[in-house]
Amino acid sequence: MKRLLGVFLGVLSAIGGFVDIGDLVANAAAGARFRMNLAWVVVVGVIGIIVYAEMAGRVAAVSGRPVFDLVRERLGPRFALANVGASFFINFLTLTAEVAGVAIAISLLTSINYLLLVPAAAVLVWLVIWRMPFSLMEQVFGMLGLCLIVFAVAVWKIGPDWNQLFSAAAHPHVPSTETPFTYAYYAIALFGAAMTRYEVFFFSSGAVEERWTVKDLGENRINVLIGFPLGGLLSLSIMACAHLLLADAHISVGTLDQVALPVAMTLGKVGLAAVLIGIFAATFGAALETALSSGYVIAQHLGWPWGKHLAPRRATRFHLVIILTLTGGLLFALSGVDPVKVTEYSIVLSAAALPLTYFPILVVANDPSYMGTHTNGRFLNAIATIYLVILLVVALVTIPLMIITKAGQ
Amino acid sequence: MTGRVLHLSLDLLDRQLRDRDGVECGKVDDLELTRDADGQLWVSAILAGPGVLAYRLGRRRIGRWLQRAHHRLDPPTDGPDDADPTRIPLPLATNIAANVDLAVNRVDLATYATERWVGDHVIGHIPGHDHDGGDDAPSQ
């Protein structure tokens, strides 16, 4: 019974933790601009993250080693260094966006200018990392993030023509007001938002933090196979809300309150409160994960002691990296950068850099010296290889598309 | 003399080092090879610590600078090798598998210097630094 509860909590945390500021912005912006013509990208992204996270979790549970630990020894220090550099930088952008997102969520609730709240948000994130136990942290913010279900409730309340909705999603095309280039750019942004890399760093390090073993593989699979698709449905609800209420009114999404607007319009004050709590939880949870990931990336690459489960005195450099990165993110956010722009850059660059961490995991997941009998099956390898090709294509076209479309104009 | 034959870059280099308590204490940044009387090459020591990896990747000046900075920061005391704290004689490696287990305490290794410094000068001053942040995980 206790086991079932654990699994149930795990799934709920996976759903609530799936959505972060990247998904909020990307799905809302895509829905407002492209209606449901990019819905298929979310589906592709969800399958991708399922494959990716399952492998990462399995590698961590069976070998006891998380991602960056293995990148260096499997692919050499030069590749690893490039990987660490790119990953750390993109992670930093994401962290800044999430911390800003937390501040914005609080500012929408309290009407205080969000810039004043950025330092408080960063300190709060650090305090939780410093003191709150790992699984409690995951569960609390995962569950609170479930408030975002209000987007699905809003769609149901609007009561659209369901046939039309599904048909629009199932027959994507490039709208006449857009070019194939902007369409592709937004597709990459959505893809990057779904296949969030820090999620995978966090996932595999988290598995080691919580001392997963082979016995936990089943639970890992359930979390991933049920939680992520439901999270994807949540993303699609955000897109549908924007499509139904913002697109006709030609409201484009440039700020977080525009993301929340459809819910406020449909469900009034209660809906607004729920969505703001959900946005706060989603961005706070993601801020925790990206902050920890910055520590994981550096510490695992260099072989330092790492982990939330250790007292800070036992993992000093790991915690110092987290503190410094949070401080840097806080300063960057305070410099007045548009948090939505930072979010967009972080998800797009994240998509482009996916092969860097995906490839090593795929290699190790097939290596019996780490995995024993738990290497990838043939079916999984087939899908995983298809995704590797997709990721490489995305990596190649991202920068050119960014230049051509001037970052999505 | 016979010994284990390893593919160094696949099986030994860049592996995780663990001390006698199982705690992470760096990576195998480089290896010291010695040629014996018959011309056979043997791995005589593991090299790990500030500057070693940079040196191996060709950034010699950065590597040497890091080594000297570390020397000033934390002069060698009773490490496995007094003259060069980054040198861990191979007999101290008790097991070479996915990790390399060492028979020393991490505090005696060069890789621990910055950990100690950060602990003394930064983390140690923040309240709660001894608090075990884990769930049921035993603190080290």
Nearest to B130 among A132, A311, A323 (CB): A311
Are B120 and B73 spatial neighbours (Cβ–Cβ below 8 Å)? no
Distance from CA of A353 to the nearest CA of B (A): 23
Q: What is the mean pLDDT of chain A?
A: 90
Decide if pLDDT at A292 tops 90.
yes
**Beta strand segments in A131-170, E:** none
The string of pLDDT tens digits covering residues A222-251 is 888 998 999 999 999 999 999 999 888 888
Q: Is the pLDDT of residue A314 over 70?
A: yes
Cα B69 versus chain centre, distance: 17
CA distance B41 to chain A (A): 22
Is A314 an interface residue toward B (CB < 8 Å)?
yes
Question: Would the ipTM clear 0.90, i.e. be above it?
Answer: no
Measured CA to CA, the distance from residue B95 to residue B6 in angstroms comes to 13
Q: Can you give the pTM of this predicted structure?
A: 0.90
DSSP code per residue over A359-387: HHHHHHHT-HHHHTT-PPPHHHHHHHHHH
Q: What is the pLDDT of residues A381-403, one digit of tens each?
A: 999 999 999 999 999 999 999 99
Of B31, B37, B28, nearest to A303 (Cα)? B28
Which positions 191-210 of A are in contact with B (Cβ < 8 Å)? 209-210
| Confidence tier at A91 by pLDDT (50, 70, 90) | very high
Instruction: Transcribe chain B into DSSP letters.
Output: -------IIIIITTPEEE-TTS-EEEE--EEEEEE-TTS-EEEEEEE-STTHHHHHTT-HHHHHHHHHHHHHHS---SSS-SS-TTEEEGGGEEEESSEEEESS-GGGSGGGHHHHHHHHHTGGGSTTTTS--SSSPPP-
DSSP state at residue A338: -
3-state secondary structure (DSSP) of residue A113? coil
**Residue pLDDT, tens place only, A335-372:** 989 999 999 999 999 999 889 888 988 998 998 988 88
B119 touches chain A (CB under 8 A): yes
Angle, helices B113-121 vs B60-73, to 10°: value is: 50
For the cut 60, the answer to whether the pLDDT of residue B133 exceeds it is: no
Q: Which residue of chain A comes nearest to B97, CA vs CA?
A: A369
Whether A65 and B16 lie within 8 Å, measured CB to CB: yes
What one-letter code names the amino acid at A49?
I
Q: Any idea which residue has 């076209």 for tokens?
A: A397
Question: What is the CB neighbour count within 10 angstroms for residue B14?
Answer: 24
A-to-B residue pairs, Cβ atoms closer than 8 angstroms: 111
Does the structure show a pLDDT above 50 at B139?
A: no
User: Is B140 in contact with A305 (Cβ distance < 8 A)?
Assistant: yes
Mean pLDDT, range A283-305, rounded to an integer: 92
- Written as six digits, the tokens of B37 are 């009387």
A153: tokens are: 């409730």
Residue ranges of B 53-112 with Cβ closer than 8 A to chain A: 53, 56-57, 98, 111
For A55-87, the pLDDT digits (tens) are: 988 998 998 888 777 888 878 888 888 889 999
Place of tokens 């990208």: A41
Which residues on chain B are in Cβ contact (under 8 Å) with A62? none
Number of residues assigned to chain B: 140
